[in-house]
Structure formats: structure tokens, C-alpha cells
Amino acid sequence: MALKEKALILDKNGIDRALTRIAHEVLEKNKGARDIVLVGIQRGGVHLAKRLAVKIKEIEGAEPPLGSLDITMYRDDLATRKSQPVPQATDITFDLKDKIMVLVDDVIFTGRTIRAALNSVMDYGRPLRIQLAVLVDRGHRELPIRPDYVGKNLPTSIKEKVEVMLSEGGGEEKVVILGE
Amino acid sequence: MNIIIKNGHIIDPANKIDGKFDILASDGKIAKLGKPGSLSAGGAQVIDASGKLVVPGLIDMHVHLREPGFEYKETIATGTAAARAGGFTSVCCMPNTNPVNDNRSVTEFILSQARDAAARVYPIGAITKGSKGEELAEMSELREAGCLAVSDDGKPVMNAAIMRRALEYSKIFDMLIVSHCEDSSLSGKGVMNEGVVSTELGLRGIPYAAEDVMVARDLSLSELTGGRLHIAHVSTAGSVRLIRDAKARGVRVTAETCPHYFTLTEEAVRGYNTMAKMNPPLRTANDVAEIKQGLRDGTIDVIATDHAPHAMDEKSGEFDYAPFGIVGLETALALSLRLAGEDVLSIAEVIRKLSINPASVLKLNKGALSVGADADITVIDPDAEWTVNASQFKSKSKNTPFNSCKLKGRAAQTIVGGKV
Amino acid sequence: MSSLQSKDLLGIKGMTADEIKLILDTAATFRDVSERDIKKVPALRGRTVINLFYEASTRTRTSFELAGKRLSADVINISTSTSSVVKGETLLDTARNIEAMKCDMIIVRHSCSGAPEFLSKRLKSSVINAGDGFHEHPTQALLDMFTIREKLGRLEGLTVAIVGDIAHSRVARSNIYGLTTMGAKVRVCGPPTMMPPGIERMGAEVHYNMDKAVEGADVVMMLRLQLERQAAGLFPGVREYAKLYGLNPARVGRAANHALVMHPGPMNRGVEISSEVADGTPVILDQVTNGVAVRMAVMFLLSGGSKAEA
């Protein structure tokens, strides 16, 4: 059954405002940008992490190191999938030791992606602390994982889909709920 | 005991009979042929052969019955049962048993085992002791014991001087030498025809020249000595041409091919199909065409099966390790009748190459429905359509590349010595 | 495309350009894993991989073993000298016994062409061909193509000369299939005694003169000469072979300036490749490194859950 757009949750300005707020919260919670590294989760989190880095630079004057993380190899459903997902690049070229890593993703749902991301990060190094920033928290957690920074809390039905569309993807920028 | 076969279409190439006749057999001999409805005898068993062909009992001059020594593959009992199911009333069994049939005691053992068999068994003895290609076996003794010919089948006689002596010596009795033509220095460790398919599959090839050079050698030796030569299982276009030329020169040579060599090509090996592994190997479409031409023009006298049973364990595994050979007795007739369907041969010519021709080559007084001859008769249903199901074979072994093939024509009754 | 059509990898023949590209692209991400301090991902955690080697090969076995372990699979090695093979157990019985122990993937090397295909038809496990007879060695061709693409940026339009004993080479066959599928031009070169009949029908151009074969080539791929072929009369002697078909600096000079020199190993220095050339080409060791990544990619892509039951 094809899904259709049921509601517009955030428009371009809404997304930008949310990211600005998250940037301020990150800086406030960590008392500045020192020791902060941003890592976006492939694929939706990578662009958002880049934007956060720019905003932090605008506020603090210094841009934090930016990386990307692919969690394909750490998924817990590999054994049951019909075909395997195509892995994307992981690009963490800086040392994680004693850093505060802010993981960035577009939507948090079951929490399984974040579980995979945490496992993956541990294979790259040992950050001092890991925090999680998401644009949308749509609920339905299956694991005890909670984001530190949330752009928008959004109650959804489990059958619905939340889609974050960014201008980097080549279209209109918005967050929508899709349903039958 | 009398049998009347009624309303059949009799094809008896030796007696030039091709028409509707009834046939009466009494006490194991053919007693009389007559117009439909003209024959009667008290208490006769009547076989209604309406719509069927009635032909001389088929003769397969190239069979491996495996007994003694390899009874797990086939026995004389199971092999002759397979022959009979396939329409064959007589078979010649090759000497590569264990021990090799290179002496009287083995020949006598085979004949004693064959006494109650489903078909007549005519042993072929070895050319050399142990078929080792070194010393001649005692040909006179083998002949007296009942061997109709000698052959080291399965192995070539590589030493040309030994082959020359065999052909010379055979003249004492005008004994037939059946030659498995393969130059083993050229075939080496080959497992299939050498060509584009062997290249793709990465299998060692056996070039056609491995057969051709040996056929050329043996023809030359037969010409030199005057010994009577029969070329077994012709598989190459080159062999056909060499034999054709030799026959034109008057060399005392006859030749046989097998149904697989005019039915299949090396393509059947794809997928590492061990059921398509035999020696000589399946060749190319070009070879098949020349073999058909050889059958048509009489270069190839005989259709034989080279029935070579092997246990499934042996055939199931690495292609390189699987033994050469396939069973053929229960599919040969239908595959040969295809030649008539393709207008390569008439039905009468197919029957000729399966009956009177092998009998003549073997100097066996069989292969014709002459009055007074043994009542070996095959009734063929030429229109019967059937699907090969190897698990139903009478043969102990099921190694056929034709499993699940749809065929047309099969033996309805096989009568041996007047017994159905 | 995100999956392979078959549960097995038996050969390059029949694979599409998309499938080959998928494996090479996936291998690129695994190459990064091998560069990390922790060279391991949990993708095949809980899976069991059997290395069933009927032919000695330290290099390929180690490469598959490392690939499996870096994917967190449990890898067991069975080789002829230590298994029931010496007791005369059939291939099928051995494989069925292994499968009864619940393995997910069997990597087979065998001196008989077709042995992996035979097993694949009879086992539920994924079968990966690690080299069978003179038939195929698909992961070697994939790692060769990966290495070429990495160094030269593409495969399409390249000219690759494969030199040596083509007749007895599974590496040559797999590379001919793969490279021609990816749009490269393949020349094969060697003495006629080592040229299998009909090889041109597989899409390769046949040369007996090595100078001509390497002329302007983007890649020169040397094959190992089995010295025992001399006894079989396939060449008269090592000296003459080296003269006619050995890669020396002068012949490298005939190839394109950027030409890669490759060798699947182990090399016979002074026979098919001179020491100057061998030591001057780091690519040969890159091939080894890339071999692990490519094998990880193949194992990962074949490990999809429901394919085995399909």
C-alpha cells in the first residue's frame, strides 16, 4: 500500500529553528565547544551533523571536528533480512579519546540504530561521553535509550512513517508524517 | 510349446521381409511364417501384435555385465534382465571383469552364470593377459570355451607390435579383434572431449585425435596382416572417414557406434554431469553429423550400447573421480528408432544394425527370422511414448544421461528361444 | 541493486556487471575496517563458516579465515591432511557431516573442477568457490578487479594482458569473465601448449608473442608457472620460458606508462617475473590486502538470512 503524506510537522524554518536550539543546548550543557566532536549517522544524520557544526561555529567561533558513522555491520537484523543493506562510509579521522561525542540522527524510533551506533563507536575509540541529538523523536522505543537533545517530540502510530527531507537531498525541506 | 505372433508387421532385413505376416514358433525354433490368420497350432500361446513391429531378437555386441568382480554394479542376472527389457535377446560381455576374462575358467564361469539368464550371453575374451597390453592371451582356449571375439575394451592396446601380433594370430581362427581405439598418451588424464566446453568447465580434454590416430593405426595393421578388425564405439568424424576409406580399399574392418554418440554432444557435460562422462567422450555436433552419415552410408555396421553400469556412489561426486560409462540397454532401441524419425535410416536399417549386422560381424547364426533358427524375436511398439525413469530399470545401476527424457518406441515382448 | 542472485559464489561466469560492482563497492567499506585498530565488525556474529580445503593453500585459506573472523563469524578450517578425507570419505558425505553441525557457509577449494558446484546443489549452506581445478577462482578475480579499479579508477576500456599457463589457470578464466563483463579488453598470452582450445570464444584475444601482448597494456597480470608442467612436455625449460614469457623491465616498458603489474602469488622469481619487476610493484601486496576486503564483502552479501530457505 502506498503511503501518503498525512501531516506537515516541520517546514524549512522549523527545521532551522530546531537545529539552532539544539546547538545552543549542546553548548550550554557542555559549557562551550571545547572537546566536542559531532558524528552523523549514515545517511540522514550526516547532513544534520554538518549543519550543527556550522551553527556551533557561528555561536562559538570554532568549528568542532565532524565525522560520519555507518552502522550497517552492527545491525541486529542482518541474519533475518532477505538481502543485505549496502554499507556506506564511516569517516572518523580524529582521535575520540577524552572527547564528548554528539551522535546526530534524523529520527529516533525503536532505538536499535543508536544501539548499533554505540557498539560501532566503541570499535573506533573511547570517548569520554556520548550524547545523542535527534531532529524528531517519534516514540516506540524498544531499547532503554533516550536522546539528550530533541528537535521535536512527535507522537505517532507505529504504522506511520516519519520522513525527514533535506535540501541536500535535492527537494523541498520538510518533516512529514506518512500513512495509509 | 507353440507361440503364434499375429497381425504384426515383420521386419527381417536378412530375409528381405517387410510386411504383415504371422509367425509360428515351436519348441524354441521358428517354424513358419504365413499370411495373417493363416497359421494355427494346438494350444499355442497367441500374441496379438497389431500395430507392432516383429523383428529378429536384438543383439548388443558391446555390454559390460560386471560379473565376476563387480557384482555391486551389475550381475549377469540383472544385466540380461535389462537387456531383455530393452528388446535384446543376445549380448556380448566385455572381458574387463575381475579377474579379467583372459582364460577358459573365467569364460566358463560366465557361461555357467548365464545358463538361466534372461538373455543369451556371448563372452568376449581379452586380447592380452590381464588386458595389460603386454602378452597375448590364449586365443584358442578362449574360443573353445565360447568367446566369440577378443578385446581389451576399456583400455587400448598401446603397443602397436602387440596389436599387430594379435591381428596376425587371430587369422588361425578368423577370430574377431574388437579394438577400443584410444591413444592413452594423447587422452592422458582427460575426462571429456577437448574443446571449448572443456575449456570453460576447466576439465582436462581428450582430443578427437586420441581416437583417430588409433583407428588409423589399427586399420593399417589390419591391412598389413589381414586380421579381422572391429572398431568399437566410434565417436569422431575422423574415425568415420578413416573407416570409410579403409572399407573402400577392402580392409577387413567393421565398426560400431552407440546411441549416445549420435544423440548427445559434449554440451551434456555442462553442470559437471557425471552421467555424461564416458570413454570415448561425447563429442561435437559435427561428429554427430558424420556418425549419422556413417550409419547411413554403411561405414558403421552396428549399433551397440557399451552398457557400462556404475553404482550411484561412484557417479556421485567430483567429475574427475567419477568412472567412465553409462547404462544403455534399456534406452538403446528408442534412441536408435529416432534415427528413423530423423530420416537418417529406415526402420529396417535400424533393425539391421541391431540384429543381422552384429550377428554377421560375430559370425553368430542369429539376427534373422529364418525357419529353423532360434526363436529369438522382439516385438516392438513403435508408437509407445514413455518417459525414462532410471529407478525402474532392471539394470542394477541407474547411470543414464537420459533419465526423464521422453522417448518413443519400446520393446513390448522379448522372446528368447521361444519363451516370452 | 543490493543483493546477489544466488546463495552461492561459484564463478564469475554468469554474474552481471551490477553484481560485480556491488561486491567491489561493498569491499571498499570493508577495506576501511581492516585499517582500524579494532579490525572487526559484528555482521556475521553467530554464523559458522567452514573452510573446506582439499588443496593446500596457506594464502587463500588465511585470507578467507581473516575475512570471516573480521566479520565475527566462527571460522573452522578443515584441510585434507587433518580430515576424514584420507579415510576415503566421499565429498558429499564430508559436506553433509559438516552441514549437520549447522554451519552457514562453506568455502571450498578443490583440485577437481566443479566440486563447489556439486556441493552447492546438495547443501543448504552458501558455498563459496575458493578455487576449483582449472575452472574458476572468483574471489581472486574480484580482488584483482578491485585492485585495478582502486589504482586506475576504472575497469571499462582498459586493456589487460594475462600471461602464462592459461590452460591450467582458474585465475585466468575468472578474470576473463569478470574483466570482459566490466568492459575491459583481455589479451591472453602464453605458449600454444598452455593455451586451451576455444579460449577466444570466452572473449579473450590470443597472443603467443609476449612483446605484442603487453604493448600498451594498462595491466599486466602474470600467472604462476607450475614447474612440473615441464615434465609433461608443455615447455622445454625454465630458461626458454623466462626468455619468451617472463616479465622483465624491458617488457614493462612496452606497456602503458601507468601500467600495473599483478601476480596472484606465489611468484617464481626469475621465471615468470624478474626480481626487479617483482620488487618494483607494490600492487602485488595490495592484492593481498584487498583480498581480505573482497572476501568479507562476498561473505557479507551472501549471508542474507532467508536465502538459504528460498
Digit-coded pLDDT (tens) for A10-52: 999 999 999 999 999 999 999 999 999 999 999 889 999 999 9
Is ipTM beyond 0.85? yes
- Are B320 and C113 a contacting pair at CB < 8 A? yes
Neighbours of chain C (3+ CB pairs under 8 A): A, B
- Using a CB–CB cut-off of 8 Å, the residues of B that contact C are 194-205, 271-272, 313, 316-321
Q: What is the mean pLDDT of chain C?
A: 91
The answer to whether the CB atoms of B318 and C201 lie below 8 A apart is no
The two beta strands, B377-387 and B406-415, are antiparallel
**Contacting residues of C for B197, CB less than 8 Å apart:** 198
CB pairs under 8 A between A and C: 61
Please answer yes or no on whether A79 and C33 come within 8 Å at the CB atom.
no
Comparison of pLDDT for C282 and A108, the residue scoring more: A108
Are the Cβ atoms of C133 and B316 closer than 8 angstroms?
no
Comparing CA positions, the residue from C9, C6, C234 lying closest to residue C132 is C9
Contact A79 C22 (CB under 8 A): no
C196 interface with B at CB cutoff 8 Å: yes
DSSP B212-274: HHHHHHHHHHHHHH---EEE-S---HHHHHHHHHHHHHT--EEEEE-HHHHH--GGGGTTT-G
**Would you say A87 and A23 are in contact if contact means Cβ atoms under 8 Å apart?**
no
The answer to whether the CB atoms of A73 and C22 lie below 8 A apart is no
* A123, closest residue in chain C (CA to CA): C38
- C-alpha distances in angstroms, B39 versus B6, B369, B372, C79? 9, 16, 16, 74
C-alpha cell read off for B51: 500395430
Does the pLDDT value for residue C305 go beyond 80?
Answer: no
Residue C84 has pLDDT above 70, yes or no: no
Q: Mean pLDDT across the stretch C75-93?
A: 73
Beta-bridge partners for C113 = none
The alpha carbon torsion through B38, B40, B44, B47 (nearest 10 deg) reads 10
- Asked if A83 lies within 8 A of C33 by C-beta distance, the reply is no
Contacts of B358 (CB under 8 A, 6+ apart): B59, B60, B61, B256, B301, B302, B304, B364, B367
Mutate to test the interface with A, among C5, C29, C69 (most CBs of A within 10 A): C29
Cα–Cα distance measured from residue B410 to residue B418, given in angstroms and rounded to the nearest whole number: 20
Looking at the predicted structure, is the pLDDT value of residue C309 above 50? no
φ, ψ for residue B347, nearest 5 deg: -60, -40
Task: Give just the sign of the alpha carbon dihedral B210, B213, B214, B215.
Answer: positive
pLDDT of residue B208: 98
Mean predicted confidence (pLDDT) in C225-248: 90
* 3-state DSSP assignment of residue A93: coil
Question: Do chains A and B have 3 or more beta-carbon pairs under 8 angstroms?
Answer: no
Give the residue from chain B lying closest to C131, CA to CA: B202
Residue A84, pLDDT > 90, answer: no
C-alpha pair distances (Å), C115 with each of C107, C123, C217 = 11, 12, 34
Residue B320 is a catalytic residue:
no
Count CB neighbours of A141 within 10 A: 15
One-letter amino acid at B163 equals M
User: What average pLDDT score do residues A137-160 get?
Assistant: 94
CA distance C160 to chain A (A): 29
Chain C interface includes A123 (CB < 8 A): yes
Q: Kindly report the nearest CA distance between residue B15 and chain C, in angstroms.
A: 49
Across the interface, whether the CB atoms of C91 and B272 are under 8 A apart is answered no
By Cβ distance, the residue of C26, C46, C306 closest to A82 is C306
Position C81 scores a pLDDT of: 57
Quickly list H helices, chain A.
12-29, 44-60, 112-122
The residue type at B214: M
The tens place of each residue's pLDDT in chain B, 420 residues long, gives: 799 999 999 999 999 999 999 999 999 999 999 999 888 877 889 999 999 999 999 999 999 999 999 999 999 999 999 999 999 999 999 999 999 999 999 999 999 999 999 999 999 999 999 999 999 999 999 999 999 999 999 999 999 999 999 999 999 999 999 999 999 999 999 999 999 999 999 999 999 999 999 999 999 999 999 999 999 999 999 999 999 999 999 999 999 999 999 999 999 999 999 999 999 999 999 999 999 999 999 999 999 999 999 999 999 999 999 999 999 999 999 999 999 999 999 999 999 999 999 999 999 999 999 999 999 999 999 999 999 999 999 999 999 999 999 999 999 999 999 998
Grid cell 550371453 is found at: B121
Closest Cβ–Cβ partner in A74, A87, A123 for C29: A87
Cβ within 8 Å, pair B198-C173: no
Identify the closest residue of chain C to B270 by CA–CA distance.
C114
Give pLDDT, residue C2.
Answer: 60
How many CA within 13 A on the CB side of residue C253? Answer: 4
Interface of C with B in 45-104 (CB under 8 A): 90-92
Is the minimum CB–CB distance between A85 and chain C shorter than 8 Å? yes
What Rg do the C-alpha atoms of chain B give, in angstroms? 20
Nearest CA in chain C to A85: C2
Catalytic residue among B60, B218, B306, B376: B306
Higher pLDDT, C266 or B121: B121
For chain C, what percent of residues have pLDDT higher than 90? 75
Say yes or no for a CB contact (<8 Å) between A84 and C3: yes
User: What DSSP character marks residue C84?
Assistant: G
Cβ-nearest to B201 among C90, C113, C118: C113
